[in-house]
C-alpha cells in the first residue's frame, strides 16, 4: 500500500481508503467486520463514515469491528445530517455538534476522532460558530483534525479565511463527489483546495459501482448489486452515452493490461491533491481488488489521453 499525508497534516493515510455507507444498511455487523478486517490486511488504514450512515449503525458496527486495533487506523466521521424532528437535530451549530460528537464517540467506542467533517454547509449557522466549536473539540482532544464535505469553493474559501483571521484550526480536507464520470469539482473546488492546501477525499469514486465494469450494455444488471436495487439511480447513470464512454475507457485500460477499476482509482490518484480514494465495498474480495489498484501510476501522457476520452462528459 502507498500512503499520503492527510491533507496538510503529517498523518499518513492509505491512498485507497474504505467508504462505509453500506454498513448498517446493506451489511450486518458480522459482514461489516469481514470487510474491515480484509481492508486492514491489505494495508488500508483510513475509514470514512458519518453519524447518519445506516441510521447510525455504520458507526456502531465500525466501533465493534476496530476496537482491537483502533490506534492503527485513521477514523473519519461527519456531522450535520438530520437525526430527528426537533430544530437542533441537525446542522453545524454548537449545540448540535457538541451533542453529536459525544454520540459518535460512544458508537465508535473511542475517545477521539481522527478527522471530524462537516457533512454539508449550514446556511443557518455562522461559520465562525462552527469553527470555534471544532477548535474547542481539537483543544479538548476529542478530535484531531477537521474537514468539510459537499462545500462549494466559496464556502471552503470563506471557512479558511475565517479560521485564518480568528487564529482557529482550519479544514485540512474536503470531501466532494469526484470520479471519471463526475468532474464538476475541476472548475472551482480543485483550484480552491490547491490554493488552500486542502486534501481531496473523492466520494462515489466508482460512480456507485459503474466504474468497476460490472454493468454491461444490453445485459441484465448482476443480482444483489447496488444499481440492481436502485432503478432510479441506474436509469440516471446507465445511459447509452455512459456505456460508450465506459467502453472507450476500458479499451484504454486493456491496452495497458489494466482494468476499468484500476483506471478509476489510478486516474483520481494521479492528482497529488487527492489524499485517499474512499470506495465503499460490500464484499471482502471487492476490497482486495480495490486495494491492489494503487500500483498503477499514470504518466502525464496517460492522464492527458484519458481526459481527451472524457471530453465534455460530465
Ligand X SMILES: NC(=O)c1ccc[n+]([C@@H]2O[C@H](COP(=O)([O-])OP(=O)(O)OC[C@H]3O[C@@H](n4cnc5c(N)ncnc54)[C@H](OP(=O)(O)O)[C@@H]3O)[C@@H](O)[C@H]2O)c1
Cα–Cα distance measured from residue 272 to residue 128, given in angstroms and rounded to the nearest whole number: 30
Residues identified as active-site: 53
Cα–Cα distance measured from residue 216 to residue 175, given in angstroms and rounded to the nearest whole number: 29
Strand partners, 255: none
Nearer to ligand X, 29 or 225 (CB): 225
Segment holding 12, helix H or strand E: strand 12-14
Shortest reach from residue 205's CB to ligand X, in Å = 5
Q: Which residues contact 274 (CB under 8 A, 6 or more apart)?
A: 15, 178, 199, 200, 201, 202, 268
Binding site for ligand X (CB under 6 A): 19-22, 48, 119, 149-150, 175, 203-209, 212, 214, 225-226, 261, 278-282, 286, 289-290
Shortest reach from residue 133's CB to ligand X, in Å = 19
Shortest reach from residue 303's CB to ligand X, in Å = 20
Nearer to ligand X, 35 or 137 (CB): 35
Count the Cβ atoms, other than its own, within 10 Å of residue 49: 30
Shortest reach from residue 297's CB to ligand X, in Å = 19
Nearer to ligand X, 9 or 150 (CB): 150
Cα–Cα distance measured from residue 82 to residue 62, given in angstroms and rounded to the nearest whole number: 21
Nearest Cα neighbor of 206 from 266, 283, 148, 272 is 266
Shortest reach from residue 210's CB to ligand X, in Å = 8
Pairing of strands 12-14, 3-5: antiparallel
Nearer to ligand X, 135 or 286 (CB): 286
Nearer to ligand X, 33 or 226 (CB): 226
Nearer to ligand X, 50 or 160 (CB): 50
Q: For the residues of 82-118, what is the DSSP string, one character each? A: --SSSTTSSSSSHHHHHHHHHHHHHHHT-S-EEEEEE
141 contacts 101 by C-beta, under 8 angstroms: no
Angle between helices 260-269 and 300-310 (to 10 degrees): 110
Shortest reach from residue 96's CB to ligand X, in Å = 17
Q: Which residues contact 289 (CB under 8 A, 6 or more apart)?
A: 261
Cα–Cα distance measured from residue 281 to residue 167, given in angstroms and rounded to the nearest whole number: 39
Amino acid at each position: 500500500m502507498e500512503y499520503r499525508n492527510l491533507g496538510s497534516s503529517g498523518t499518513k493515510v492509505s491512498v485507497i481508503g474504505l467508504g462505509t455507507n453500506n454498513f448498517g444498511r446493506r451489511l450486518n455487523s458480522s459482514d461489516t467486520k469481514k470487510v474491515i478486517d480484509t481492508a486492514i490486511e491489505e494495508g488500508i488504514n483510513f475509514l470514512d463514515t458519518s453519524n447518519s450512515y445506516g441510521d447510525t449503525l455504520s458507526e456502531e458496527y465500525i466501533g465493534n469491528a476496530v476496537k482491537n486495533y483502533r490506534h492503527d487506523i485513521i477514523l473519519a466521521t461527519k456531522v450535520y445530517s438530520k437525526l430527528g424532528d426537533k430544530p437542533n437535530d441537525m446542522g453545524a451549530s454548537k449545540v448540535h455538534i457538541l451533542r453529536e460528537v459525544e454520540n459518535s464517540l460512544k458508537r465508535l467506542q473511542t475517545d477521539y476522532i481522527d478527522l471530524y467533517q462537516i457533512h454539508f454547509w449550514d446556511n443557518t449557522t455562522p461559520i465562525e460558530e462552527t469553527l470555534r466549536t471544532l477548535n474547542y473539540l481539537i483543544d479538548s482532544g476529542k478530535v484531531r483534525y477537521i474537514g468539510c464535505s459537499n462545500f462549494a469553493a466559496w464556502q471552503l474559501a470563506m471557512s479558511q479565511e475565517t479560521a485564518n483571521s480568528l487564529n482557529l484550526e482550519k479544514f485540512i480536507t474536503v470531501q466532494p463527489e469526484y470520479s471519471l464520470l463526475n468532474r464538476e469539482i475541476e472548475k472551482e473546488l480543485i483550484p480552491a483546495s490547491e490554493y488552500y492546501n486542502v486534501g481531496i477525499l473523492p466520494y462515489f469514486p466508482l460512480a456507485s459501482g459503474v466504474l468497476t465494469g460490472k454493468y454491461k450494455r444490453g445485459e441484465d444488471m448482476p443480482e444483489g448489486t447496488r444499481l440492481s436495487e436502485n432503478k432510479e439511480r441506474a436509469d440516471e447513470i446507465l445511459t447509452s452515452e455512459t456505456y460508450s464512454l465506459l467502453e472507450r475507457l476500458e479499451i484504454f485500460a486493456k491496452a495497458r493490461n489494466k482494468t476499468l477499476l484500476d483506471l478509476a482509482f489510478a486516474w483520481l490518484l494521479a492528482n497529488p491533491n487527492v489524499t485517499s480514494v474512499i470506495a465503499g465495498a460490500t464484499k471482502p474480495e471487492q476490497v482486495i481488488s480495490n486495494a491492489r489498484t494503487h500500483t498503477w501510476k499514470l504518466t502525464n501522457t496517460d492522464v492527458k489521453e484519458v481526459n481527451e476520452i472524457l471530453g465534455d462528459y460530465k
